[in-house]
Homo-oligomer: A and B are copies of this chain.
């Protein structure tokens, strides 16, 4: 019976068959030690020349890295083995012999690995990073499903944009122009009046000519939006969310964190309430660290790192000056020059993970803000309608999935957190 490597342990003592690919082999006289990967895990297979056929032994001799193989044998519990089990082979066969596999155990440059992304996926650190991605994505969906949010997929093809067209991918749409979405928020807000609590999660696009480790042109974003939720409630939702996700990664992706040599003690701190500072306090903290920044300046990536490291935990920065933030954010009643916006900054240099705000729910104020930002009114008419027909206070945030996964997995570059990264000039394979 073919068994997933992941489940071998519960078949100890039984005869099992595993199909997969050779990761590594070592021969010592009449015994071969084969590391076989099947996508669910890696198992060590011990083949003794005396216990298999002549053909099987020939295959042990000729098998190469990444050849497709099939092994049958007895699963034996062994606490020293990874996964707690190894296989004593009774049969072994190469099903497809691999020659000249491009990615070997020696060091390869990133450009080379990126050109071979379709094969690089098989390498252990890539597998573990993307397994964490898979777990995080399911955890996100479970979080919102369990809390009775309705999934409202926002459109990718959109007729307008909030923030100008300079970073937008454009396409022709039956004679008109359309742009690839940068956020689903505007589409979620009307859906709040139908479902109360909604979220979207999908690909998002930014045609930015940035070539940093924190930029992808195509990335995934999750955005919840909640009717009748105030700013305080929004911050608590974000805390619950991040704590839940980190807990799931620690609990269910432990073997992958180990492969990546991630310091789990750092992740264990991501729980409970996070410290909060206002924008003004944040600037003072940065100044106290000797950074040349003034009240009213926007944060750079470096500033975010200093701030989060100052607390050694994720930190909320709140109450930003109105001019630094988007047109739709609700002014703070106590200080109308600031908005009820928050950024959640991660420690260890992972920067802004979440950005959110309470939204303006007063029709005339939103209209005034659109005009102040010199945005056209007509394309936003439907968005204004949310304030015209049964307006309601509401709040939401957005989180870039890849940044969160980089933080969890300890990845130095976002390109490893998505199966097929798209970056400046980089769209192959």
Q: Which residues of A contact B (CB under 8 A)?
A: 2, 4, 6, 19-22, 38-40, 66-68, 95-96, 98, 101-102, 116, 118-119, 121-122, 126-127, 130-131, 133-134, 137-138, 141, 145, 148, 150-159, 169-176, 178, 180, 187, 190-197, 202-203, 205, 207, 209, 217-218, 220, 227-228, 361, 382-383, 385-386, 388-392, 418-420, 422, 424-425, 427-429
Whether B419 pairs with A389 at a CB distance below 8 angstroms is: no
Q: Which chain B residue has the least Cβ–Cβ distance from A193?
A: B122
Whether B155 pairs with A420 at a CB distance below 8 angstroms is: yes
12 more contacts with CB within 8 A, not counting A40-B196, A98-B388, A156-B180, are A22-B390, A39-B197, A68-B390, A118-B187, A119-B389, A122-B194, A131-B195, A133-B153, A134-B150, A137-B151, A202-B202, A202-B203
Whether B157 pairs with A218 at a CB distance below 8 angstroms is: yes
Contact of A131 with B153 at beta-carbon distance under 8 Å, contacts A202-B202, A203-B202 already known: no
List the number of copies, as a whole number: 2
Interface of A, secondary structure class, is mixed
Q: Which chain B residue has the least Cβ–Cβ distance from A197?
A: B39
CA distance A207 to B173 in the complex (A): 8
CA distance A154 to B418 in the complex (A): 9
Could you list 23 examples of A-B contacts with CB < 8 Å? Answer: A20-B196, A21-B390, A39-B196, A66-B389, A66-B390, A68-B390, A95-B392, A98-B390, A102-B389, A118-B187, A121-B190, A122-B194, A130-B194, A131-B150, A133-B151, A138-B145, A156-B156, A158-B427, A159-B429, A169-B178, A171-B180, A191-B419, A202-B203
CA distance A326 to B228 in the complex (A): 50
Q: Give the shortest distance, in Å, between A208 (CB) and chain B (any CB).
A: 10
Whether A194 pairs with B152 at a CB distance below 8 angstroms is: no
| 8 Å CB contact of A119 from B66, B173, B175, B190 | B190
CA distance A151 to B56 in the complex (A): 35
Q: Give the shortest distance, in Å, between A421 (CB) and chain B (any CB).
A: 8
Contact of A427 with B157 at beta-carbon distance under 8 Å, contacts A19-B228, A171-B169, A196-B38 already known: yes
Contact of A420 with B174 at beta-carbon distance under 8 Å, contacts A39-B196, A118-B386 already known: no
